[in-house]
Amino acid sequence: MNIAFYLSGLVAVLATLGVVTNTNPVHALLYLIVSLISVALVFFALGAPFAGALEVIVYAGAIMVLFVFVVMMLNLGHEGAAQERLWLRPRVWLGPAVLSAVLLVTLIATLWSGDDGRMIAGQTLTAKAVGSLLFGPWLLIVELAAMLLLAALVTASHVGRVPGPTPLESGDTQPRQHTQPRKEGA
């Protein structure tokens, strides 16, 4: 399992570098998908198959589809690539890179001195264990997240509300579309 962990970790790091340095947005998104899948493999290697599967389903399978969708619609073309290349000059990325390197050194030093973080072993966590943990001690946080999502859903449906009949829906024969404009007039 150690080899699987290190290999997929290496792929994750390289793919994430590819996301940052690539000038074509769709290719960068492809690297991001590869990165997410290799993070899922890291979870598998650590003995958390449920978290790994969810990583692929939720992040690679659902959220990234939205990203790809938006980028495809924008159709950036060559001007976008040129703009990206302009942003990739050393003057722009040197400062953040140095700061991140300091963080990396701190992380490595912490891992080096302590002996808890160095272990890549552990027992397999099943879906049942994750579920009883989420709905046991962490129930309050799950409920809070549910409230947040509900609020986001209500907001989205309010913002995306269509006031009258749109050209797409004008063919429908449901009475709701026809009564709505009258209500607004009154």
Partner 1 sequence: MSWLSASLIASLLAMLQAGVILLGVVLLGAVLTIVERRLLGLWQDRYGPNRVGTFGSLQLIADMIKIFFKEDWIPPFADRALFVLAPAIAMASLLLSFMIIPITPGWGVADFNIGLLFFLAMAGINVYAVLFGGWSSGNKYALLGAMRASAQTLSYEVFMGLSLMGVVAMAGTFNMREIVNAQQGLWFVVPQFFGFATFLIAGIAVTHRHPFDQPEAEQELADGYHIEYSSMKFGMFFIGEYVGMALISALIVTLFFGGWHGPWLPPIVWFALKTGALLVLFILLRASLPRPRYDRVMSFGWKFCLPLTLINLLMTGALILLADPL
Which spans of this chain sit near partner 1 (rule: CB under 8 A)? 24, 26-27, 30, 33, 37, 40, 49-50, 52-54, 56-57, 60-62, 65-66, 68-69, 72-73, 124, 126-127, 168
Q: Which of 63/86 has CB closer to partner 1?
A: 63
Taking the C-alpha atoms of residue 64 and residue 42, their distance in angstroms, rounded to an integer, is 19
Q: Which of 168/186 has CB closer to partner 1?
A: 168
Taking the C-alpha atoms of residue 146 and residue 74, their distance in angstroms, rounded to an integer, is 32
Shortest distance, CB of residue 72 to partner 1, whole angstroms?
5
Shortest distance, CB of residue 132 to partner 1, whole angstroms?
11
Shortest distance, CB of residue 80 to partner 1, whole angstroms?
13
Q: Which of 112/135 has CB closer to partner 1?
A: 135
Burial of 48 (0-12, 13-18, 19+ CB in 10 A): buried
Shortest distance, CB of residue 144 to partner 1, whole angstroms?
20
Phi, psi of 85 (to 5 degrees): -65, -35
Taking the C-alpha atoms of residue 123 and residue 136, their distance in angstroms, rounded to an integer, is 20
Q: Which of 93/177 has CB closer to partner 1?
A: 177
Is 72:26 a contact under the CB 8 Å cutoff? yes
**What's the distance, CA 35 to chain centroid?**
11
